[in-house]
Each structure stands twice: as structure tokens, then as C-alpha cells.
């Protein structure tokens, strides 16, 4: 992932970056995620939101763009 060179993303630790990224996603994508924005409060929230975004992309493109992991593809088939 390429991130902008701004103070928001310049962190001293991975934990600090994770906190800033979660807040950025909450502020920027709250309309898109709706009530699922609460997933970000869970310990594996970023991963859950990433999986949801992949599923949303798959649905929106009617299966033409499939970034889901191989295990999810097997389950869906």
C-alpha cells in the first residue's frame, strides 16, 4: 500500500500506525461501511473490514474483480 507522506501516516511504531489508520478509515469511509464501522473496534477489525471491502468489490463488479482469498473463493464455489 502506498501512503501519503503526511504527519497522519508518519508513525514511530506499528501500534501507533494501526491506531491512526483505524481512525482514518472511520473518518473517511463511515458512509460506505455504515454499521460495520464498529468492526474496527475489534482486535482483528482491520482484517474484517478488508474482507468486507473485498466482498463488496466482488459484488459490485458482479464477480469480475475477485480479490478474495483462495479459501473464500473455494467456499463461495
pLDDT tens for 40-70 read: 999 999 999 988 888 888 888 887 878 776 6
Whether 13 maps to a domain, the answer reads: no
Total domain count, the chain: 1
Residue-level pLDDT at 60: 86
Give dist(CA 25, CA 22) in Å, integer.
5
Residue-level pLDDT at 16: 85
Classify residue 34 as left (phi > 0), alpha (psi -120 to 50) or beta: left
pLDDT at 74 over 60: no
Give dist(CA 36, CA 52) in Å, integer.
9
pTM of the predicted model as reported, rounded to 2 decimal places: 0.66
Residue-level pLDDT at 52: 87
Output the nine-digit C-alpha cell for 72.
473464500
Lowest-pLDDT range of 1-15, 34-48, 63-77: 63-77
Whether 1 maps to a domain, the answer reads: no
CA angle 17, 23, 25 (to 5 degrees): 100
Output the nine-digit C-alpha cell for 38.
464498529
Instruction: Please provide the average confidence, as pLDDT, over all residues in the chain.
Output: 81
Q: For residue 43, give its domain range.
A: 24-76
Whether 11 maps to a domain, the answer reads: no
Whether 7 maps to a domain, the answer reads: no
Amino acid at each position: 500500500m502506498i501512503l501519503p507522506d503526511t504527519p497522519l501516516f508518519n508513525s514511530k511504531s506499528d501500534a501507533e500506525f494501526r491506531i491512526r489508520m483505524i481512525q482514518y478509515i472511520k473518518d473517511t469511509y463511515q458512509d460506505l461501511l455504515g454499521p460495520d464501522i464498529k468492526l474496527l473496534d475489534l482486535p482483528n477489525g482491520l482484517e474484517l473490514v478488508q474482507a468486507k471491502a473485498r466482498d463488496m468489490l466482488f459484488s459490485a463488479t458482479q464477480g469480475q474483480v475477485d480479490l478474495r482469498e483462495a479459501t473464500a473463493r473455494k467456499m463461495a464455489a
